[in-house]
Amino acid sequence: MVGCASLARVTDPAAAPGATSEVGPLRTVLLHRPGPELRRLTPRNNDQLLFDGVPWVARAQEEHDAFAQALADRGVEVLHLATLLAEILEQPAARTELIAAAVDDPRLGATLQRDATRHLSGLAAPDLASALIAGLAHDELRGSGLAYQLMDRADFVVPPLPNLLFTRDSSVWIADQVAVTSLAMPARHRESTITAAVYAHHPRFAGAEQLYGADLEHLEGGDVLLLAEGVVAVGVGERTTPGGAERLARRVFGRGLAHTVLVVPIAQERATMHLDTIATMVDVDAMVMYPAVADSLTAWTVRAPEGSSPEDADTTDLAVTGPQPFVVAAAAAMGIDKLRVIDTGLDPVTAEREQWDDGNNTLALAPRLAVAYERNTVTNAALEAAGIEVVRIAGSELGSGRGGPRCMSCPVARAPL
């Protein structure tokens, strides 16, 4: 496992948080190494917990370690979410906040909430971090009261968070501010409470402003692409609502973080749950895109009206035009002649297979340098033919939660282009 130094001591100005593009040289990234929470998955609950199967945990950890090492080998500072969480849980305010969020569940009732709070409060910081991520099972707690007695022994008092692996979704940096997102699926709601607490309490992020919040309209980081400085694309589909896109647009305009937001409707299906499952940037003017949508993807162009100000950012009207073909609207917003879509040359069956296996979900480390799953051989070959260097990683077990290298990484700092 790639280590994570004590973050309070990191003083390198180059690692100051913030990102203005998808392809600026990656300096710092936030990952979560899968752990005991994946061992909670069974054929009985994997659908509810949003996994398509029961992964081989040891192999998933090996794959993730190799992913983290590939980033470190290319000069990327790797932060681990569990390490940050354990560090902030040394602080009483963070402990109280996160324990309260963990037991805020109407299934439990007052007695079981009290028992769970007492149990969690007695844990040392590393053990509490593990319990908040891996969950707390019925038989791991000496509970009392009706809710505890009637609960099935296989049920969880505090459900596990196996999707915490996909750190992209619960937060996204836009310029020097972080949007802690509002996750749509009930199995993922508590992820944002952990992410928000890390950004609020960890000294590494002291002074960082939070642009969005988990209490707002649904918005997920996998739907947010920073196409260029000042240009943000937001997918609207299964996980992000039009209201979430609208709220984010108002806030980035009000805080001067962007001048254009492209709202991109996508199919409300699991295979295309986020915009980054069908398209990701691999160069300053190029993206890889699922061939089945390349000619049909559209965008609405949203801009701030004349005279808007931060004081009315959540209520002001927006200037909306469109729709246009996505590539046309994107090029106009980015100020370039054309947004290149790399032609993968895939037949429909292979294209569908590789899209399902996150072939389009690449993580750019710099312009023309991207991490991708090794299994998507045809897509990777097409990227290389287009001049993109591909860093291949294994993902046979990591992919069981339907996420690729971009999904598993939250860029905290990118150098400007």
Other residues' Cβ atoms within 10 Å of the Cβ of residue 177: 18
Token pair belonging to 4: 């994570």
- Name the residues annotated as catalytic: 407
Residues 101, 105, 111, 115, CA torsion sign? negative
Other residues' Cβ atoms within 10 Å of the Cβ of residue 304: 22
Per the CB < 8 A criterion, the answer to whether 369 and 386 are in contact is no
> What's the start-to-end Cα distance of the chain, in Å?
30
| Contacts with 211 (C-beta within 8 Å, 6 or more apart), sequence order | 174, 177, 178, 179, 180, 248, 251, 252, 255, 257
Could you give the angle at which helices 125-134 and 92-103 cross, rounded to 10 degrees?
30
Residues 389, 399, 234, 159, CA torsion sign? negative
Q: Where are the alpha helices (DSSP H) in 306-376?
A: 326-334, 348-356
Across 146-169, b (16+ Cβ under 10 Å) vs e yields: ebbeebeeeebbbbbbbbbbbbbb
**What number of residues does the chain have?**
417
Other residues' Cβ atoms within 10 Å of the Cβ of residue 139: 12
Per the CB < 8 A criterion, the answer to whether 293 and 260 are in contact is no
CA distance 304 to 260: 8
Question: Which residues on neighbouring strands pair with residue 265, listed in sequence order?
Answer: 236
Other residues' Cβ atoms within 10 Å of the Cβ of residue 183: 23
Token pair belonging to 379: 């897509």
Sheet strand arrangement including 260-265: 224-228, 231-236, 260-265, 298-303, 319-325
CA distance 359 to 279: 9
CA distance 415 to 171: 19
CA distance 190 to 307: 38
DSSP strand pairing (224-228 vs 231-236): antiparallel
